[in-house]
Amino acid sequence: MATLRDIPEITALRASRHLIRIPPEIDVPLTPRVRHLIDAPEFRRLANISQLGLVSLVYPAANHTRFEHSLGVYRMALLYLDRLADNDRFEAAVPPAAAERFLVAALLHDLGHWPFCHPIEDISLRQVPSHELFANSFLLEGELADVLRHEWNIQPRDVVEMLSHKPADRCGRLLRSMLSGPIDVDKMDYLMRDSLHAGVPYGRNFDQPRLIQSLCLNEAGDTLAITDKGKTAAEMMVFARYVMFSEVYWHHAVRSATAMLQRAFYLLHPHLDVDALFRLTEQPMIDALRKSAGDGPAAELLDGLFGPSRRLYKRVAQCSLFQEPALYERLARRPYPWLVRCAEQFAGLASRGLGRVVAPHEILFDAPPMELEVEFQIEVFFPKEGRYRQLGDVSPVVKTLAKQQFDDYVKRVRLFAHPRLAADLRALPGLTEVLAQAIDLAA
């Protein structure tokens, strides 16, 4: 009877055969059927889509690709299965065929990403599909689908199901938690990889091997858990995620670039064929957006991001939940068109206050998006007691950073303005009152 260890990719991992090297000095085993997946054009496009997009405008070495990250996630999935193959409950719950679907889903989890995907998704426009849904056209037809059917004996729709839906059966829920959960294979790779390429230590200061060694099943047997030996490593992972959001993903200059791209896309989207646009790789998509912008207001925004000289908008004001809760709560997690209306009203008020014209596109409101980050909820098994407890109940670090609302502590509400205006706007009398008035007028 076949076991998890008989899966060819796990055998290759243990034997260190047919390896490809990715940073930081990591060897990824490639069997012929894996190589045929990553050589398919639907997957190769990820080599020309950066993992962090606009972050490289602030951290210049953060230009690694979704291709590299996907290989890292696939290797992490192998390490998870190799560890859990020793767990009797896991082996009873997950047959080899399901484990192979999990490996494929881990490798292909970013297939539907287009360039600058997350900033565009965050503004929640009706015409913009989720990247999970967009992946379906790459998965259900073409060379990749043929490789899945003929070499893996996997129906592409089963991979779609694992990536896009909430499974009803116990095996599906367990594997889904390994793909998208508190300590999933995606987070385990991107925290380390993004930190490495950004040149900061924050995402690498947790013990990956220790955390993997502690993997087990929760009490119900339908999601991933850890033993008490992994508690400290899990706490450090929570902190790593917190600091990476605070210092990299939501760095104020990164958010300025993000707000510029979002406003440009918002201005252009009624005239775009988003399906065709999202199939492009990074530079062709930039070229298409700039061509569509012509000499309109979006052109100035895009030129500041992708033109010969970097020209990011400047921070005029910001607030967090604990600084100015009333103002924060009026702007955080509100629909993006509402933020645009606030910016337009502020531009009108600022024009009167400064005595010169402030164009609407020269003012950008940036706020936490409507969709919340996943909270860090995971069970910890204490073998000597034979008891499970929630990590947040036994860890003050996790209780503070993860059980309370993550977004409110790492994400700010910010007002950005064109560089020629920022200093004068900061000196505008009663700036906070003007902000509040603009919000009232937008209501």
Quote the number of domains for the chain. Answer: 2
pTM: 0.94
Coil, strand or helix: which one is 318? strand
pLDDT band at 320 (very low <50, low <70, confident <90, very high): confident
Q: Is residue 56 part of a domain?
A: yes
Note the pLDDT tens digit of each residue in 206-235. Answer: 999 999 999 999 999 999 999 999 999 999
- Write the CB contacts of 313 (distance below 8 Å, at least 6 apart in sequence): 256, 259, 260, 304, 362, 364, 416, 417, 418, 419, 422
E strand residue ranges, 253-410: 314-319, 363-366, 379-382, 387-390
Asked if 220 and 209 sit in the same domain, the reply is: yes
Asked if 328 and 423 sit in the same domain, the reply is: yes
Asked if 227 and 281 sit in the same domain, the reply is: no
> What average pLDDT does the segment 426-436 reach?
91
Range of the domain at 141: 4-250+393-404
The sign one gets for the Cα dihedral 95, 188, 402, 120 is negative
CATH at residue 232 = 1.10.3210.10
Asked if 283 and 430 sit in the same domain, the reply is: yes
DSSP 218: -
Q: Is residue 159 part of a domain?
A: yes
- Write the CB contacts of 9 (distance below 8 Å, at least 6 apart in sequence): 29, 31, 34, 78, 103
CB 272 within 8 A of CB 285: no
Locate 368 and state its tokens. 């936490």
Note the pLDDT tens digit of each residue in 47-102. Answer: 999 999 999 999 999 999 999 999 999 999 999 999 999 999 999 999 999 999 99
Evaluate the omega torsion of the peptide bond into residue 24 and state whether it is cis, within 30 degrees of 0: yes
Asked if 300 and 227 sit in the same domain, the reply is: no
Locate 71 and state its tokens. 């290989």
